[in-house]
Structure 1
Amino acid sequence: MVRKKPLLVVLLLILLGGTTVGALNYTAGNEDSVTRVLGYDVYRIEGSGNYIIYYPLPNGSVKVLKNGKAGGLFPTFVKVPRHEWIKELSTAEKALYAPPTPLILYITEDGKLGVKSITSSRIKLESEKTLNLKGDYQVQAKGSCPRGWIDFGGRYCLDPQWSLHFDSRAKSKTFDEWVSVMGLKIENRVAEKVDYHWLLQLSRSTYSYWTVGIDVGPFNVITVSLGNHFEGWGLDIGYEVDGPLQVRSNTWERYLNIKVEYIVAHAKVPAYDKLTRKYMDIEIVQTYPIKIHSTGRYTILESSNGQIKFTESYGSNPPRITKTPNLWTIPENVEWTRSWIGVSTWKRAIYLRQNQSKEFSSSSSLNIPLGYAAGKYLTRISPKLGKLANTISITVGFHHSSGYRSMAEYSVKIKPRKSCYAMYSVLGVNVGTSGAKTKVNVPLVFGVITDGKVPSPPCNPRTGVCVDSTNPWGREGD
């Protein structure tokens, strides 16, 4: 009996150890939210390949919280410094704020590169496919990688120490700007009169999304990933015409602007291009709205003589109505939805209504163009980042939430003076789902009414052919 005691102790320890591991893995299997134990986030990272978990900080740095290999017996414990953002955002200001989520950058063993936000404890690397490095999109190239570099069998090779370079090359910056969220441009006097109403409601049912742009060689990939919902004060804007407005100028414009604070983070993954036989970097840029400074309720009327009157307002940073846009550019990779309007009486030219939904969709989301300061910042750093600045935007989603409502509505009617086209833009983004990648067309509510006989918009309404250099709202880097 004495000799059996050590064996019983060993068996008991094995049993307890197995039970502990099982309990930890069960705890980390939460797919709806992040499980926290003693101040640590608990993650179960499934799949293959290597990853980095990182977090942008208010001081402009990007902190690597964890790097490692997917899989393994034990879950991953990560200390996320959320308190730094909570301290930064929790002021006496009447604002909406959404602290950023951690991000994970991963490269799987079968050649997939992905970036996503972390909003649950269970993380599936393969299920969020952003870019296939084997070459689903790019030209195949023969040749060998530098000695020791990772060859996925496609065009690019990766530095095996890519994760070690990350924290020294990743940066972030916070911008606080007035940005245009809706706009309208009537060209060449195609309309005799115009009538419109625009609505925007932001509340706790509005979610902030990470928008990610990845530049690889000749193309960009845009994806979005769920962040946090906004907290704090709401914003409710109703902007409409008090009777039809006469269009008296060759180019007629109106823009609705609010004050937004947002993060721009950028990083590099060192690579080798077998086609060009050159070392290069895969550039990655992320944007995330963290604060809406414009709050309160506003009913804005524009009279027939062009005077703007706020009939009701309370809150902070009231919205602004301008005749020129506050933005860097309408993304050059948008698609323009167009419809033909013949000469007749009043016609509805454009109508969009973005409502709440259980999931991210074309009818429950909104893109806001990048502000001028952010676009200028990225363009000054490098041509590649400048290229990405011309393709990304700021994204919000409208989700169901008890007692709260968020939405956007955009309606434009015109009395045509001559036949014309009514156009608005949508940006296609990739949204990861359970086991698949879905493309969603998210609207940027900037309408153009045109006959196509002037240099803009970038897409010829008669042919549908798009030319990047003629973007009506584009800015050159300086």
Structure 2
Amino acid sequence: MGITMVSREFLLVVWLLILFGGTIVGALNYMVNNEDSVSRIFGYDVYKIEGSGNYVIYYPLPNGSVKVLKIGKAGGFFPVFVKVPRQEWIKEFSTTEKALYAPPTPLILYITKDGRLGVKSVTSSRIRLEGEFLDLKGSYNVQATGSCPNGYMDFGGRYCLASNWDFYFESRAKAKTFDEWVSVMGLKIENRVAEEIDFDWDLLLSRSTYSYWTIGIDVGPFTVLSVSKGHNFEGWALDVSYQSLGPLTVNSNTWERYLNIRVEYIVVHAKVPAYDKLTKKYVDIEIVQTYPIKIHSTGKYTIWESPTRGIYFTESRGNNPPRITTIPNIWSISKEAEWRRKWISAGSWKSAVYVRQSQSDVFSSSSSLSIPIGYAAGKYLTGVSPRLGKLASTLSLTFGFHKCMNAASMAEYSVDIKPRKGCYAMYSVLSVRVGTSGSKVSVPLVFGVITDGKSPSPPCNPRTGICINSKNHN
């Protein structure tokens, strides 16, 4: 009888533990069903990772390392607890400098069971492993026959992936931070196609500006670009207006102006080991991510250019004032960029290029802006490997302007000309995938070219020799 009583008490305790544990797990799963923000418990981020396949959650650190926070399989019943070392960046940012800061978000690299490879920023507790960032079955690859080596996964397309790809990740991933003056906007007039020019460039960055991860994957002959939302900037705003004071005469064969600000950004690069059934070789799928973390140029500036006084500031209040140059401070205009152009006939004054980017509820073609990565980052990636050098020529730093109370962000680029002869007015846009739906957004890179097409256009980077061919864009 004593044994029976003990057994009943034991079963009651076990039942209560199961009930209590199930209640806790249920409450946790309810809490992490959050698509807008990250739930935290005792300093840990709590995620519910949905879908199928394997993933790696990782985080770049200021010392140049990439820390793997979690390796696992999606679709588990229990939520995932992850300690994100954000304090490393908080220490880095805790200075007296008046700057705009956007600490990096964690990233998740995943490969689903049906052969979809994706990278996204982790900004919410509910993470879905879905979308078609890169379909290894063949959407972006030449089909090839043959079998995969032992230990490699076959998705039915050109590439097989190592089954234990996730365990290679930490030792092969690297991060590096760059602090450079980078051109935000620019204009080149070729062959004296304009008699006079009148322009107005404005840039306002504040806490309603978000930093986006720009992600590039190089696989075979293809480069796939995507963006994923990071943090909004905090700190001191930047307000720049650069204008011509009345019409300026174009009195040189090539006329150029570039607006530059001091930007600090991260470049993270990693590899996924693969086997190419077409070439019968072991290869690496290269992945690069860029993310602006700090804007050192802050304050309010009004810059004029007049026919008599040249370039001068009438209002200059802040840190690291913008610079106006006649040579672009960039690695290259993205090779993935498209060029929007229109024909301007000779005669009276015409609007050559007008782009206005302002705040909205979603990331769109009219609420975003990209700038090319700087020369130091391009040189670094090229030095690591030729394939990373190829990716360097496609990447940009991406910003989104989102609605926020008591803050405003915008970019405006206006150029009017009095043409001397018929010419093309062009500016560049970068087409990127956004979100799990894979929808495309054409993000402006406001680098304008006004040309008659009788010399290489758009411009070549004078330091790298990389040029863009626009002949196929009409």
Q: TM-score, normalised on structure 1?
A: 0.95
Q: What residue in structure 2 maps to residue 330 of structure 1?
A: 333
Q: What residue in structure 1 maps to residue 249 of structure 2?
A: 246
- 1:150 corresponds to which of 146, 149, 153: 153
Is structure 2 residue 209 aligned with structure 1 residue 206? yes
Is structure 2 residue 378 aligned with structure 1 residue 375? yes
Instruction: Give the CA deviation at 1:411.
Output: 0.1
Does the 8 Å contact 1:458/1:472 carry over to 2? no
Is structure 2 residue 44 aligned with structure 1 residue 40? yes
**C-alpha separation between the residues in 1 aligned to 2:45 and 2:467?**
47
**C-alpha separation between the residues in 2 aligned to 1:56 and 1:376?**
20
| Post-superposition CA distance 1:17-44 (Å, at most 9, x none) | 2111101111211111000100000000
**C-alpha separation between the residues in 2 aligned to 1:364 and 1:79?**
33
User: How many residue pairs are counted as aligned between the two chains?
Assistant: 462
- Secondary structure of the 1:269 match is strand
| Post-superposition CA distance 1:342-395 (Å, at most 9, x none) | 011000000000000111000000000010000000001101000000001000
**C-alpha separation between the residues in 2 aligned to 1:148 and 1:159?**
6
Q: What residue in structure 1 maps to residue 456 of structure 2?
A: 455
Instruction: Give the CA deviation at 1:12.
Output: 1.7
Instruction: Give the CA deviation at 1:90.
Output: 1.9
Distance 1:231 1:150, change over 3 A: same
Instruction: Give the CA deviation at 1:8.
Output: 2.6
Q: Could you list the runs of 4 or more consecutive aligned residues of structure 1 that deviate by over 6 angstroms after TM superposition?
A: none
**C-alpha separation between the residues in 2 aligned to 1:327 and 1:472?**
17
Is structure 2 residue 351 aligned with structure 1 residue 348? yes
Instruction: Give the CA deviation at 1:314.
Output: 1.0
Instruction: Give the CA deviation at 1:305.
Output: 3.2
**C-alpha separation between the residues in 2 aligned to 1:469 and 1:210?**
24
Q: What residue in structure 2 maps to residue 465 of structure 1?
A: none
Is structure 2 residue 101 aligned with structure 1 residue 97? yes
Structure 2 counterparts to residues 281-320 of structure 1, below 5 A: 281-305=284-308, 307-320=310-323
Structure 2 counterparts to residues 33-432 of structure 1, below 5 A: 33-126=37-130, 128-305=131-308, 307-432=310-435
Instruction: Give the CA deviation at 1:455.
Output: 1.8
Q: Report the AA paired with residue 103 of structure 2.
A: P
Deviates more, 1:20-29 or 1:334-343: 20-29
- Secondary structure of the 1:470 match is coil
Does the 8 Å contact 2:332/2:466 carry over to 1? no
- Secondary structure of the 2:48 match is strand
- Secondary structure of the 2:151 match is coil
Q: Report the AA paired with residue 382 of structure 1.
A: S
- Secondary structure of the 1:264 match is strand
Does the 8 Å contact 1:129/1:432 carry over to 2? no
Q: Report the AA paired with residue 399 of structure 1.
A: H
| Post-superposition CA distance 1:90-115 (Å, at most 9, x none) | 21001000000000000000000000
**C-alpha separation between the residues in 2 aligned to 1:472 and 1:247?**
25
**C-alpha separation between the residues in 2 aligned to 1:323 and 1:294?**
19
Instruction: Give the CA deviation at 1:5.
Output: 3.1
| Post-superposition CA distance 1:301-350 (Å, at most 9, x none) | 10113611111111100000011110000011110000010011000000
Q: What residue in structure 2 maps to residue 470 of structure 1?
A: 467
Is structure 2 residue 15 aligned with structure 1 residue 18? no
Instruction: Give the CA deviation at 1:4.
Output: 3.5
**C-alpha separation between the residues in 2 aligned to 1:458 and 1:471?**
7
**C-alpha separation between the residues in 1 aligned to 2:348 and 2:459?**
28
- Secondary structure of the 1:11 match is helix
**C-alpha separation between the residues in 2 aligned to 1:49 and 1:323?**
50
- Secondary structure of the 1:23 match is helix
What percentage of residue pairs aligned between the two structures are identical? 72
Q: What are structure 1's unaligned runs of at least 5 residues?
A: 460-467, 474-478
Distance 1:276 1:472, change over 3 A: closer
- Secondary structure of the 2:291 match is strand
**C-alpha separation between the residues in 2 aligned to 1:154 and 1:246?**
57
| Post-superposition CA distance 1:233-281 (Å, at most 9, x none) | 0000011001110001110000000000000010000000000100000
**C-alpha separation between the residues in 1 aligned to 2:8 and 2:379?**
74
**C-alpha separation between the residues in 1 aligned to 2:269 and 2:302?**
38
Does the 8 Å contact 2:145/2:277 carry over to 1? yes
Q: What are structure 2's unaligned runs of at least 5 residues?
A: none
Instruction: Give the CA deviation at 1:469.
Output: 5.9
Instruction: Give the CA deviation at 1:46.
Output: 0.4
- Secondary structure of the 2:389 match is helix
**C-alpha separation between the residues in 1 aligned to 2:467 and 2:239?**
34
**C-alpha separation between the residues in 2 aligned to 1:439 and 1:36?**
32
Q: Report the AA paired with residue 96 of structure 1.
A: L
Deviates more, 1:394-403 or 1:8-17: 8-17
**C-alpha separation between the residues in 2 aligned to 1:217 and 1:41?**
36
Q: What residue in structure 1 maps to residue 10 of structure 2?
A: 6
Does the 8 Å contact 1:245/1:305 carry over to 2? no
Q: Report the AA paired with residue 147 of structure 1.
A: N
Q: Report the AA paired with residue 174 of structure 1.
A: T
**C-alpha separation between the residues in 1 aligned to 2:456 and 2:188?**
13
**C-alpha separation between the residues in 2 aligned to 1:242 and 1:343?**
23
Q: What residue in structure 2 maps to residue 476 of structure 1?
A: none
**C-alpha separation between the residues in 2 aligned to 1:395 and 1:167?**
26
**C-alpha separation between the residues in 1 aligned to 2:359 and 2:9?**
63
**C-alpha separation between the residues in 1 aligned to 2:332 and 2:355?**
21
Distance 1:308 1:24, change over 3 A: same
Q: TM-score, normalised on structure 2?
A: 0.96
Instruction: Give the CA deviation at 1:89.
Output: 1.2
Does the 8 Å contact 1:283/1:384 carry over to 2? yes
Q: What residue in structure 2 maps to residue 446 of structure 1?
A: 447
Instruction: Give the CA deviation at 1:145.
Output: 0.3
Q: Report the AA paired with residue 440 of structure 1.
A: V
- Secondary structure of the 2:390 match is helix
**C-alpha separation between the residues in 1 aligned to 2:209 and 2:163?**
40
- Secondary structure of the 1:134 match is coil
**C-alpha separation between the residues in 2 aligned to 1:35 and 1:85?**
20
